[in-house]
Each structure stands twice: as C-alpha cells, then as structure tokens.
Chains A and B, each alone.
Chain A
Amino acid sequence: MSLSPVEGVALAEIESDPDAIAPAAKGVVGRSPGQLAWLRLRRDRTAVVSGVLLVFFLLLGLSAPLIEMAYGIGPREQFQKLLDGFGMPLGYAGGVTGDHWFGLEPNLGRDIFIRLIYGLRTSLFIAFAAALITATIGIALGALAGYLGGWLDAVINWITDLTLAMPFLIIALALTPTITLRFYGERGQVSSAFGVGVLIGVFAIFGWTSTARLVRGQVIALREREFVEAAKASGAGLGHIIFRQLLPNIWAPILVSFSLAVPQFITSEAALSFIGVGLSDETPSFGRMIYDSLDFLQTDPAYVFFPGITIFALVFAFNLFGDALRDALDPKSSR
C-alpha cells in the first residue's frame, strides 16, 4: 500500500507521540495498518472507556457461576416471603435491599441481579455467535457475487433476495416451535442449550443478507477502479484481489455493520421473546426479562428499569466501541 499524504501525517503524529511504543530504531519506522489502528484506538478516550466497559460486561457474563457463588443466590430461587399479597415486592424500588441488589421479580420473587448476570451471558453468547457466523457468510458471498458478477452474482443475489423476502419474525415465530417439536416431540423437556442453538441457527439463516448486500454494493462500486485493474493486469489471482485489494478498502462499512450486528442480535433475541418465541423461562435472557417486565410498567417500574438500563448500557457500549474502531481502522482517517 502506498503512503498517501494523509497517512504520512498520521505516521508523523504517532512518531512524535512519546507514549507510543516506538522500537529502538530511530527515524521513520514502518508499521502495519493494524499496528497503526491499535495505536489510534489506545489514544481514543471513547474507545478506551467503552472497551473497558465491554470487557467488564464480558467478564461478568463469563464468570456468572462464580458470581452466583459469591452472591449466594441462584437464578431460580424464589423469595415469596418478600412479596405482598398482590405478588408485588415489598420495600422501595421493587424490593432493593442489601441481599437483593436490584430487587425481586413480581409474582415469582426471583432475584433480578443474578438473573441479569445469567441473562447477560446468554445474550452475549447468542449475539457473538450469530454475528460471527453471519458476517463470515455475508462477506464471502457478497464479495464473490460483486466481483465475479455473471451467473454466480445472479444466483447469490437471488438467494439473498429470497432470504430477505421471507418476513423474519413471522417465519421465526412459525419455525421455532416446529423445529423444537421435531427434535423433542410433544412432551420432551427442551434443554436450554438446544433453545439457544435453534435461535443462533435461525439468526444465521436470516442474518447474513444485509452484510452480503452491503459488501456486494461496495465491491461493485470498486471493481471498475484503477487499482483493481492494475492488480488484475499484474496477474493477481481471485483471492488476492478480493482479500488484499477489495476487502481492505471496505473495512469501514463492514466494521460498522458488524458493530451494529452484535447489539442487533441482542435486540432480535429480545424481539422474538416479545412476540412469544425465543427462549423458555428456564433460561434467563434479557429479552425474556424485558418482555415479562413490560406488564408491570405502571405498577413496578423498577422491574422495567433494571433490565432496560442494563441492555441499553450494553448495546450503547457496543455502538460506541464500534464507532471508535471504525475511526481507528480507517486508513484514510487522520484523527
């Protein structure tokens, strides 16, 4: 990659930065775009704050069983004694006490804090798995279709159109119970791992299309440019042109779309719960909690507040970090 004037400026800026981990050699130091991005990211305050917040959320989710041991309350324990005659938690703000940091659920009396921790784990796992799978499928299909064109483009485009034309929520609503019934029969006890797997599968089938279309559109706009022609003229193969020439140029939109995809899958999981599919009550998840809590919007607002704010903070942190990452990774940005 040639040094554009802007990149030169960025390089010079980093050189003059005393904090930068400069190798012992003096003078102009060659750095890969990845190293440059990492340096930019570390100097961006928003990126650091949101990144730390994300790591914190990830750790919370990963160490859920440890937290349960330290906290001393399980996600399925019920505290009926702390509810009044109408099933509403006693005390202020939905029953917040030293034992129950975020209060109790109305009716069942389960502890909201530990359910949120476990819900965090479920939601993060589903969202990351789904986003990784869909991004891989979408980038591969979109780049191939956009660059090669011809019948391959027609076929991939057609499959994309077909997938997009199926209304996701309605199909998912009809499909999820069907799949579950096929595997478990009428009376079988559905394991929570299976429910999570079905959700990821449904997201994978329907979620790759937007990345594919985005990548395809970008590649089409780029494939007539001189640098692609030059690469082709000097004998570059298909893999080189797609991975080394085209994809580095469309990192920004792909990353923006990936950074949107993770929180979007968190949201989608919640949306499925909202219309009545999604995970069973056994598996704590954000979607399920918010869905359950909305019935108490007027009687117990704290129950809506805790999961609502947590999911907002999580998605917000993802979005902030995604934006900062975009700025850092973009070789043209001179921040």
Chain B
Amino acid sequence: MSRFLIKRLFSATLTLFAVSVLTFLMFFALPRDPVTSICSKNCNPERLERVRDDLGLNDPLISQYAGYMKGIVTGRDLGSAQGGRCDAPCLGWSYVTNEAVSDTIARVLPVTLSIVIPAAILWLLLGVGLGMVSALRRGTWLDRLAIGFSLTGASLQLYFVGAVLLLVFVYNLRLLPVPSYTSLFDNPAKWASGLVLAWVALAFLFSAIYARLSRAQMLETLSEDFVRTARAKGLAKPAVYGRHALRAAITPVVTIAGLDVGGALGGTVITETTFGIQGLGRTAVDAVKAGDLPTIMATVLIAAVFVVLANALVDLLYAAIDPRVRLR
C-alpha cells in the first residue's frame, strides 16, 4: 500500500513537471509576442525592450523556466516594475491586470470551489441515486421517468439551460438575484442565492451521465452470481444491493467522477461564462485572449494540480470500494 502511494506520488509529480514544461513551451511558441499585448500600439522600441528585459524574455528558455519554477518553490525578486519581492508560491506578475498572479488566483479560486463542490455533491447524489432506483425498479414508471430525466439532461447544453434558467428565474419571475459571488463566510444566504442557478444547471447536466452509467453498471451487476448467492443465503435486499452490488457497480462511476470533479475544479469555463461569474475558468479565457502569459501558465498549472490529485484519489478509492481490485 505505502509502496503504491509512493509510486503514485512520484508519477503525479512527474506529470505536473511535464505539464509545466509543455505549457511553457506551447505559450512561448505562440506567434504573438507577449510584450506587444502589454504595451499598446504607440509603444516606443526602448520601452518594449525594457519590458522584455523585465520579464526575462531575453534569457534562454531554460533559465526562464528555472526562474519560474524557483519562484514557485522559494519566491524570487521580480524587480520594481513587477511589484518587487514576490513570496513563496510566486506565479509571476501580470502586466495586463497589474497585480501579482498569485493574488488574482487567491481571489478567483474560492469562486470556482464554491461553484463546483456543492454542484458535485448534488450531481453525485442525484445521479447515482437515480441510476440505482431505475435499475432496481427496471421497467416501471419510475425507471422510465429516471431514464427520461437523464436522457434529457445528457442531451442539453449548459449555456442553453443556463440561458433559460436565467430568463425564467432572474429576468421574468425575479425570484433570484443576478448570479454573483459573495464569500460564504460573509453572507451564506447571499452566497447560496447567487450561485444556486449554476449548481442546478451543472447538477442537471452532469447527473444525467451518472444516472446512465450507474444504471447500466447496476443492471450488469444485478445479474452476477454473487448477488444471487447473497440473496440465496438469506441476506436482506437492502444489504445485498447497498453493500454488495453497489460497491461492484460503482467503480466506473468513481473513475468518471474523479475526472469530472478534478477537471471542473480547474475552472468551469462554460458555466462561469454563461452566468457571468469570474472564477478560474473565466480568468483563464480572459488571459488567453489578452495574451497574459503568467496568468495562463498559473491557471493551467492549477487546473493540472486538481486533476492529478483527483486521479490519485480515484486509484486509492478503487481499492477501497472494489475488493476485487489489487493495487500493485
């Protein structure tokens, strides 16, 4: 077990390293010089050269990369034009927003967390619950209703659902305020009412996939011999379905859930754009459009960290949930 953990940790670190190198190369290969977007059209060559020097763009690529990485681990001095000393998780200085990138991230990360975590809880409960119920009550009206719900959800588009929700609940019925982010610790009621539409839209669309998958898996498992054996030896139905069948059926669901939650934490681009909430995803899109290199790097790296962590967690959960899986 501990050997598995160490191996997993090692490969996770390697992945993050590769992601950082790839993004670094990719964005330096961008045909647009990052400096031109920083200073606008009537910018004299001297100033352009100075900015390029400040950003370290005249250094060789390897030393630029090393400097960036050193900044994340120990912090570094960026020069007076870029806010001077930059402390430990230093992600650089953005000329577009004129602030340290770590400050931007610290501002937008709680927004994305507040959207994704409640939505994920909602969609997992709803999806797996519906899938189980419809598998156990196969062929009844309940099954048809659940299938209908999940098929509709899986066939809809987030921005379409989002637009309709906005139109109905915000503009027509005026039941909810225009979506916005308030800190949970400042005002929980406002926090919830500002984000509830995003949760509902995300949960509706995502739970559909989970309902389909867990229904398919549950049906498959219910026809297994061990389920019949468990019933035959006199075990009560809830114990058979809840403890034996669900555990065997849920492994693929856990895989997808890990991927989805990890990916969503890195920024729910479409959701944030639809509802006009400034989280990680929208920040990343803005940064790409403005050619704001340090911010792009930071958002991509953070998204990668979330996905890598979620993946490692899924592998551990596999062994905990499905007794047939052996870690090696």
Is the CB–CB distance between A304 and B163 below 8 Å? Answer: yes
Separation in Å of the A262 CB from the closest CB of chain B? 12
Given A170-B299, A275-B273, are A332 and B151 neighbors across the interface (CB < 8 Å)?
no
Interface residue count on the A side (C-beta < 8 Å): 59
Is the CB–CB distance between A170 and B11 below 8 Å? Answer: no
Given A161-B15, A181-B31, A260-B209, are A270 and B157 neighbors across the interface (CB < 8 Å)?
yes
Is the CB–CB distance between A174 and B212 below 8 Å? Answer: no
Is the CB–CB distance between A323 and B267 below 8 Å? Answer: no
When the two chains form the complex, which single residue of B26, B212, B255 contacts A260, counting CB atoms closer than 8 Å?
B212
Q: What 1/0 flags go to A224-263 for Cβ under 8 Å of B?
A: 1000000000000000000000000000110010001001
Separation in Å of the A218 CB from the closest CB of chain B? 7
Question: In the complex, A118 Cα to B37 Cα: how many Å?
Answer: 37
Question: In the complex, A274 Cα to B162 Cα: how many Å?
Answer: 13
Q: What 1/0 flags go to B231-274 for Cβ under 8 Å of A?
A: 00000000000000000000110011001001100110110010
Given A165-B304, A276-B289, are A312 and B156 neighbors across the interface (CB < 8 Å)?
yes
Is the CB–CB distance between A221 and B251 below 8 Å? Answer: yes
Which of the candidate stretches A68-76, A107-115, A290-298 sits at the interface with the other chain? A290-298
Q: With an 8 A cutoff between CB atoms, is A154 at the interface?
A: yes
Given A165-B308, A170-B285, A312-B156, are A253 and B163 neighbors across the interface (CB < 8 Å)?
no
Q: With an 8 A cutoff between CB atoms, is A320 at the interface?
A: yes
Is the CB–CB distance between A224 and B324 below 8 Å? Answer: yes
How big is the B interface, by class?
35 or more
Question: In the complex, A169 Cα to B288 Cα: how many Å?
Answer: 11
Is the CB–CB distance between B304 and A166 below 8 Å? Answer: yes
Is the CB–CB distance between B216 and A333 below 8 Å? Answer: no
Q: With an 8 A cutoff between CB atoms, is B171 at the interface?
A: yes
For window 125-180 of chain A, which residues contact chain B by CB distance below 8 Å? 149, 154, 157-158, 161-162, 164-171, 173-175, 178
Is the CB–CB distance between B285 and A319 below 8 Å? Answer: no
Which of the candidate stretches A23-31, A80-88, A209-217 sits at the interface with the other chain? A209-217
Is the CB–CB distance between A217 and B252 below 8 Å? Answer: yes
Report chain B residues within 8 Å CB of A187: none
Select from chain A the residue with minimum beta-carbon distance to B254. A217
Select from chain A the residue with minimum beta-carbon distance to B11. A158
Instruction: Decide if the interface of chain B is mainly helix, strand, loop or mixed.
Output: helix
Is the CB–CB distance between B154 and A319 below 8 Å? Answer: yes
Q: Which 3 A-B pairs have the closest CB atoms?
A: A167-B303, A165-B304, A315-B155
Report chain B residues within 8 Å CB of A53: none
Report chain A residues within 8 Å CB of B266: 167
Report chain B residues within 8 Å CB of A316: 151-152, 155
Question: In the complex, A270 Cα to B300 Cα: how many Å?
Answer: 22
When the two chains form the complex, which single residue of B29, B259, B311 contacts A178, counting CB atoms closer than 8 Å?
B29
Is the CB–CB distance between A274 and B159 below 8 Å? Answer: yes
Report chain B residues within 8 Å CB of A274: 159, 270, 273
Question: In the complex, A276 Cα to B157 Cα: how many Å?
Answer: 16
Q: Apart from A168-B263, A330-B220, what 16 extra A-B contacts exist at CB < 8 Å?
A: A157-B11, A165-B15, A167-B266, A170-B285, A170-B303, A214-B256, A217-B252, A221-B324, A256-B216, A274-B159, A275-B269, A276-B289, A298-B167, A298-B171, A319-B151, A326-B216
Question: In the complex, A221 Cα to B319 Cα: how many Å?
Answer: 10
For window 204-235 of chain B, which residues contact chain A by CB distance below 8 Å? 209, 212-213, 216-217, 219-220, 223
The interface of chain A, by Cβ under 8 A from chain B, is 6, 149, 154, 157-158, 161-162, 164-171, 173-175, 178, 181-182, 209-210, 213-214, 217-218, 220-221, 224, 252-253, 256, 260, 263, 267, 270-271, 274-276, 290, 294, 297-298, 304, 308, 311-312, 315-316, 318-320, 323, 326, 330, 332-333
Separation in Å of the B172 CB from the closest CB of chain A? 10
Report chain A residues within 8 Å CB of B199: none
Report chain A residues within 8 Å CB of B262: 164
Is the CB–CB distance between B299 and A167 below 8 Å? Answer: yes
When the two chains form the complex, which single residue of A157, A253, A290 contacts B217, counting CB atoms closer than 8 Å?
A253
Report chain A residues within 8 Å CB of B156: 312, 315
Report chain B residues within 8 Å CB of A168: 263
When the two chains form the complex, which single residue of A182, A214, A298 contacts B31, counting CB atoms closer than 8 Å?
A182
Separation in Å of the B298 CB from the closest CB of chain A? 11
Separation in Å of the A208 CB from the closest CB of chain B? 13
Select from chain A the residue with minimum beta-carbon distance to B159. A274
Is the CB–CB distance between B322 and A221 below 8 Å? Answer: yes
Is the CB–CB distance between B27 and A174 below 8 Å? Answer: yes
Question: In the complex, A250 Cα to B216 Cα: how many Å?
Answer: 11
Is the CB–CB distance between A167 and B284 below 8 Å? Answer: yes
Report chain B residues within 8 Å CB of A311: 157
Q: With an 8 A cutoff between CB atoms, is B296 at the interface?
A: yes
Separation in Å of the A3 CB from the closest CB of chain B? 15
Report chain B residues within 8 Å CB of A182: 31
